[in-house]
């Protein structure tokens, strides 16, 4: 895998919408209506975290039944997770941190990866391997906006998708940074809304999140 090319593919994905929903989905039956609700609100790029027993089936359902969605697998912790995500049809992967095993597996199956980094050293190590688009995680716990501003000065060649503590309240502040094309967040699909199948409410939350684009020249 050419990580330089894959990173730029991911940058294009990140620019499709200001917010990537980070989704924890227990019920496979919720997969398609949830995806359609979010896509209907303008959020086409979805991250399904591998935190539930049905996560891979959720990815399969979304991939098979939504034509406009770009479905990724989050919380990749091992090479087995990478293989499973690829087999489920994921278009990209997201990891909270990084290991050599995950990098090798993603290269092997050609799965574009948004690798997690939390320190300048981790950012530099990933950049040296060609990953110019990274997940800053956990964002708020690691200094949030101030930290990303500080990283921008000495390491301007990396774009970040901050995730972890990003909310509807602070998302715009993150997106105002030159090195942040998008953020990851769970507020657009609250668990109670998913459980109650309140797809209209989720579409409205997605629409509000997408409207953050109006503050920038995209």
Catalytic residue check, 135: yes
Q: Annotated catalytic residue: which of 36, 60, 135, 193? A: 135
> Cα-flanking dihedrals φ and ψ of residue 24, to 5°?
-115, 110
Paired tokens of 87: 């087999």
How many Å apart are CA 142 and CA 140, to the nearest integer? 5
Nearest-5° Cα angle at 115, 112 to 118: 165
Place of tokens 């105002």: 176
Q: Annotated catalytic residue: which of 47, 60, 61, 79? A: 47
Nearest to 216 by CA among 184, 185, 183, 172: 172
Catalytic residue check, 47: yes
Neighbours of 150 (CB within 10 A): 12
- Burial label, 146 (beta-carbon count in 10 A; 0-12, 13-18, 19+): exposed
> Cα-flanking dihedrals φ and ψ of residue 96, to 5°?
-70, -25
Catalytic annotation, residues? 47, 135
């Amino acid at each position: 895998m050419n990580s330089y090319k894959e990173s730029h593919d991911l940058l294009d994905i990140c620019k499709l919408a200001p917010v990537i929903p980070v989704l924890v989905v227990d019920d496979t039956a919720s997969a398609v209506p949830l995806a359609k609700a979010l896509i209907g609100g303008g959020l086409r790029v979805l991250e399904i975290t591998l935190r539930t027993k049905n996560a891979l089936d959720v990815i399969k359902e979304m991939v098979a039944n939504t034509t406009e969605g770009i479905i990724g697998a989050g919380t990749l912790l091992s090479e087995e997770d990478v293989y499973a995500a690829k087999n489920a049809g994921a278009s990209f992967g997201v990891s909270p941190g990084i290991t050599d095993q995950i990098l090798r597996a993603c290269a092997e199956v050609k799965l574009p990866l948004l690798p997690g980094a939390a320190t300048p050293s981790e950012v530099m190590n990933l950049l040296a391997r060609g990953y110019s688009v990274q997940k800053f995680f956990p964002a708020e716990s690691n200094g949030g906006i101030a930290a990303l501003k500080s990283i921008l000065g000495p390491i301007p060649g990396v774009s970040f998708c901050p995730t972890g503590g990003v909310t509807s309240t602070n998302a715009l502040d993150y997106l105002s940074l030159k090195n942040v094309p998008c953020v990851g967040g769970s507020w657009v699909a609250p668990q109670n809304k998913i459980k109650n199948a309140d797809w209209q409410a989720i579409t409205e939350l997605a629409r509000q999140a997408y409207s953050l684009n109006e503050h920038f020249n995209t």
